Each structure stands twice: as structure tokens, then as C-alpha cells.
Structure 1
Amino acid sequence: MTKGAKPGQNRFAESQKRRRDYRVTRIKEEVIPKLKAFAGKITFDGATPFSKFCAELYNDGLPVNEKKIGYRTLVQGTEYWAQLGPVYYKYWDSAGNMEFKKETMIGRLAVKRADQLGADIERLRKENDALRSALRNHGTSLTPPPDTKHVDNAFMSKFDKTCRALKLVLDASDGMFAVDLISHKIICAFNDLEPQEGLVPKELAEPFVAWLNAREKNHGQQ
């Protein structure tokens, strides 16, 4: 039983490739030599008349088992025009020849640049891998250090706002709560039983007291 093509597979791909190869060979061996023989003897108003003439040369004497080619196929088929285009631009369209050379050069430069970029990327990848390996061998962390200055500024901004809020609360208590700048503690004027260190642990009160002292030093008594 004959097996069909696999899903998504072009069952005619092989025969199509053989046809393209045959046509390219025939263009090289049959059409182009005849074209060069006509150079300087006939003229063409553009690529279309030229491609029609090429199709006539190609189809002339074509084996009966081969399919004739149309002039549009010669122009639109990349493999075919890659053979015929240079001949047309060289002998019948000098301006187009310069444009063709320009496009060819740009294409080659683009390919060369892409290859170079690919090589550079691969080189950088290998260098990066080697650097990471060396850092790991020396026990160095790959995590970049935090921006200490940025973190400190953000923290101090929040700390300043917190201290301002606490001072507003103390000021609104009408003397019920106060700050002992000498003892570095927050006290309650109506609570004789409060702990010796004040209403809050000393390590919590000291930063606020230091903030008040700095504020008074820089801006005077608030």
C-alpha cells in the first residue's frame, strides 16, 4: 500500500525542486548564451519585453515532457531572475544595472553584518559564562549590590515623615505626653506608674529624640 505524505508535508516538493533545477540549468546553458549573442542588436523597452523574449528562447525546442515557462515566472521566480537579471542590466539597462549592483551589495553587507553580530553575541555569551564561572569559583555573589544611597534616602524620607507625625500627636496632647530630651524618653505627665524608661523602650525613643535635637539645631525650637 502506497503511503501518502505526512500532515503538513508537500508531496510534490521533490518534483518541484527537480523542475526548478532543470529550468535554472536550461536558462544558464540555452537562454543566456543566445541572449548575449543578441546584445547590441536588439533593444527592449523594459524588463517585461525582455522577459517575454527570454521565455520564447526557453520554450523553443523544449522537450515535450517539460512544461513551458511564462515570462512572469521568469521575473517573479527568484532563482530564474538571479540568472537573467544581471544579463538584462548589463546589456539593456545600465541605470538598472547600477541599482541591481547596489541592492546586491546592500544584501551582501547585511548578511555579513548579521554574521558578524551573531559572532559577537556568541563571543559575549561565552565571556559572560566564563565570568560567572570565575565569580562562583571565588565565592562572589552574582547579585549586584543594592543602591545604598537610594535606599538611605528613601528610608530617611519615611523616617522624617514618621517623626513629624509623632510630633504632631505629642503637640496635640496638650502636655499629657512629652519628650524628655535629657533622658531620651517619651513620658506621660499623668502616669506616675510608667516604666523608668518611659512609655516606649529607649531604643525606640532615641531615634525620635535625635531627630528632634537635629531639628532644633537646624531650624530652631519648633
Structure 2
Amino acid sequence: MTKGAKPGQNRFAGAQQRQQEFRANRIKEDVIPRLNAVAGKASFDGPTPFSRFCAELYNDGLPVNEKKIGYRTIVQSTEYWGLLKPIYYKHWGPSSDTEAKKDKMIAKLAVQRADLLQAELEKVKKDNDALRSALRSHGASPTPQPVIKEIDPGYMAKFDKTCRSLKLVLDASDGMFAVDIESKKISCTFNDLEPSEGLVPTELIEPFVLWIKRRQTSDL
């Protein structure tokens, strides 16, 4: 009589190992050659659409006794994605050089925005000084104005990168997290018990919302 699995032992380990080996071989022998064949003909807007296509190729003509694979399994598996990731970045992913140039351009734009804001602040200060001088000449006593601090271009560049990173994370959540521009809050579509102000206090999310609005305005 055969014995059952020992306590703590995975009785399905053998079957799982066989499935992983089958999937890895199928990806190498069937999926990757078909991906190389469509290189230059198909386009993917990020790893998620690419992994969906890989899952379709894998499941196409799959033996009936084998379990279909999902795109999330491909992305989350270090073995499967380790096989497909080089193909993606070779044919469809941005190169490191392109990303570096993009980051430099964004940083440059952030500094330019900071310089523009600084120039506007200087103009406002000069206009205020002129107005106060005019009021004094007429015997009026102007109300003391708050001190306007200069904007640090380096800080603005870092702030821009932080907002971009948060935006990428939100976009990659596939709709799980969403930003409500009007209500100034970040919500989770799967959490019915979250506070009315969202996942983040309004005073913390407001700068990010303003950043999004500025980007939308600049894109018009």
C-alpha cells in the first residue's frame, strides 16, 4: 500500500515540476520563434499587452491535457518572464540609451518650468514693489506682503520625477487604482470601505493632482 505525503511535503511537487518544464520548453520552442517571426510587424504598448500576446501564442494549439497559461502567470514567473523578457526588450522595449535621453529631456523641461516660474515670481515681486511705492507716494500704508520663496530647480526636477513614478505605478495597476482629478483623491476600485477622501489625505495628494493638471494643460 502506497504511503501518503509526509507532513509538510507537497504531494503535487512532481506534477508541478513537470508542468513548469513543459511550459518553459513550449515557450522556448514554440512561443519565442513565433515572436521573432512577427518582430517588426506587431507592436506592443508595454509589457502587459506583450505578455497577453505571449499567452495567446502559448495557448494556441495547446494539447487538451495541458492547462492554459494566463498572462499574469507569465509576468509573475521569474522563469517564464526570464525567457520572454529579452525578446520583448530586443524588439519592442525601449533601450537604456533611449530611456536615459528621455530622463534627461524631462529633467531639462522641469528645470525650464522652474526657471519660468521663477521669472514670473520675480515679475510679481517687482510689480508689488512698484505698487507699494505708488501707495506710499499717496500716503497709503500697504499691507505687508508674505515673503515669496525662490523655487529650487533641483527640487522641482525631483518632484517631477516623483510624480511621474507615481503616475506610472497607477497606470500599471490596470484600473485597480484611479485618480479623481475633480475630487482630488486616489481610490481603489476593489475597496468599498476606503475613506471618503480616498486612500491618501487630500493635502498630500493635491500637489500630485496639480501636477497632472499642468501636464494636461501643456499637452493641449
TM range (shorter): 0.3 to 0.5
- Rg larger in structure: 1
Give the structure-2-normalised TM-score. 0.43
Task: Name the structure, 1 or 2, with higher relative contact order (CA <8 Å, separation 6+).
Answer: 2
